[in-house]
Amino acid sequence: MRRTITTLLLAVITVSIASDQVPAPPQTHPILLMNATIHPVSADEIQRGAILFEKGIITAIGRRVTNLPDNTETIDLLGKHVYPGMIAAASVIGLTEIGAVAVTRDFSERGEVNPNVRAEVAYHPDSEIIPVTRSNGVLLAHSCPTGGLISGTSAVMMLDGWTWETSTLKAPAGLHINWPNMGAVRSRYSRITEEEAVKRREKALKKLDVVFEEARRYFVAKEAADKSGKIKLNTDLRWEAMLPVLRGEVPVFMHASEVRQIESAVEWANRQNVKMVIVGGYDAWRVADLLKKYEIPVIYETVNSLPRRRWEDFDTPFTGPAKLHEAGVQYCISMGTGGASNHRNTPYEASKAASYGLPKNEALKSVTLYAAEILGIADKVGSLEKGKDATLMITDGDPLEITTQVEQVYIQGKKIDMSDRHKVLYDKYKEKYRQLGKIK
């Protein structure tokens, strides 16, 4: 009986959180957007410009586009703006729905070492969070596992698709490691003494070294087996998942925020000879010279947050991106992995940084081109250029301004359904007050 009730409740939850939006079909004919102000991001804006895309790829962009293919659909966007789609770096979009409901959280597996966990296969394309997020111009999500010491591999997902296979743009994007705390922790959620922190840290770092040593041995054995053609090697999915990291094909996304964490993580990455990206990076600007020296990018999380130390200035988190920019450190801005629903506010994180010293054009790049470069997808997205995906948005103004409306988005040339749960509720309660005579 209990099992029946549980099954029924899960069914009700699943239905209630499923998105009603229908994924778009592939682009069937060429589309020309004309008379719009086009913001390529990687180049100067084009006043009353045009952009042509076919089969999901941008084929022409400029002040004027001629020699149109047959059957081209022309859309006049006089007074509108065209921008590349924004990217939610270091997110859990598609991996969680309701924080208080355990069965909707699929970003953390049991155990400390899970390099074989693949974010893309856990991605839920019918999440209600997805249409709400893309309605604000965020069209790509870097979906990341977060649990344990080694969480697994992340993937870059397009926010439209019937299945995880059709939504995946790049997988794996990299391996995620949660760097241990380097000292005592005193917060309302946890209290760890200095002595206990040292023990936990040493245990975690030793385990991390052992894991990478075993993975390297597997790598050598696999290469020998492949070369000989006669040696049979039993496949181990944990070490298989780490091979792209050991080959230098993808980075380690190191979740570290405090100075000592970052310095220790950089030393470890150099010793292990792996590429690394800092995720979190609250104190990254304090060690900018170190990051610049080793060309380590930073995914800077939660600009719009409170200072973490009582003695810090109130604007410490706001000014982090500007300081990284001034120091020449590669960076992008993210809402972080704290909650998927927050990523609809990604543009406002960038605008907060812009209001505290980051140049406005850099703020836009921090959620488009720079994020694409760090995630290794800049050859496809992040800017509007010939040969790149037609993943873009049409707005009535600057997308970093909260009053701007995103009127239409395209993902790989597909015209996306712009309805979402928020708009349904807006229309519902607008009608309520119309019936009450409060509005016309």
pLDDT at 12: 43
pLDDT at 224: 87
Separation between Cα atoms, residue 215 and residue 241, nearest integer Å = 9
| Residues 187 and 320 both lie in one domain | yes
| Residues 129 and 80 both lie in one domain | no
Separation between Cα atoms, residue 317 and residue 217, nearest integer Å = 42
Domain annotation covers residue 438: no
Domain annotation covers residue 15: no
| Residues 123 and 95 both lie in one domain | yes
Distances from the Cα of 30 to the Cα of 23, 33, 80, 317, 336, angstroms? 19, 10, 20, 44, 36
In the numeric block, which tokens belong to residue 263? 């310095």
| Residues 366 and 387 both lie in one domain | no
215, 292 Cβ separation under 8 angstroms: no
Query: What's the domain count of the chain?
Result: 2
Mean per-residue pLDDT, 7-26? 61
| Residues 190 and 164 both lie in one domain | yes
| Residues 366 and 415 both lie in one domain | no
pLDDT at 201: 87
Q: Is the pTM of this model over 0.85?
A: yes
User: Tell me, what CATH number does 73's domain have?
Assistant: 2.30.40.10
Domain annotation covers residue 430: no
Q: How confident is the model at residue 18 (pLDDT cuts 50, 70, 90)?
A: low
| Residues 315 and 389 both lie in one domain | no
User: Using CB atoms within 10 A of its CB, is residue 88 exposed (0-12), middle (13-18) or buried (19+)?
Assistant: buried
Q: How confident is the model at residue 4 (pLDDT cuts 50, 70, 90)?
A: very low
Coil, strand, or helix at residue 254?
Answer: strand
- State the sign of the Cα–Cα–Cα–Cα dihedral 128, 134, 139, 140: negative
Domain annotation covers residue 247: yes
Domain that includes residue 28, residue range? 20-85+382-419
Separation between Cα atoms, residue 145 and residue 132, nearest integer Å = 22
Q: Is the pLDDT of residue 7 over 50?
A: no
Separation between Cα atoms, residue 252 and residue 349, nearest integer Å = 24
Q: How confident is the model at residue 375 (pLDDT cuts 50, 70, 90)?
A: very high
Q: What is the CA radius of gyration of the chain?
A: 23
| Residues 281 and 150 both lie in one domain | yes
| Residues 78 and 173 both lie in one domain | no
Q: Is the pLDDT of residue 2 over 50?
A: no
pLDDT at 3: 44
| Residues 394 and 314 both lie in one domain | no
Coil, strand, or helix at residue 91?
Answer: strand
144, 91 Cβ separation under 8 angstroms: yes
User: Using CB atoms within 10 A of its CB, is residue 389 exposed (0-12), middle (13-18) or buried (19+)?
Assistant: buried
Other Cβ atoms less than 10 A from the Cβ of 211: the count is 19
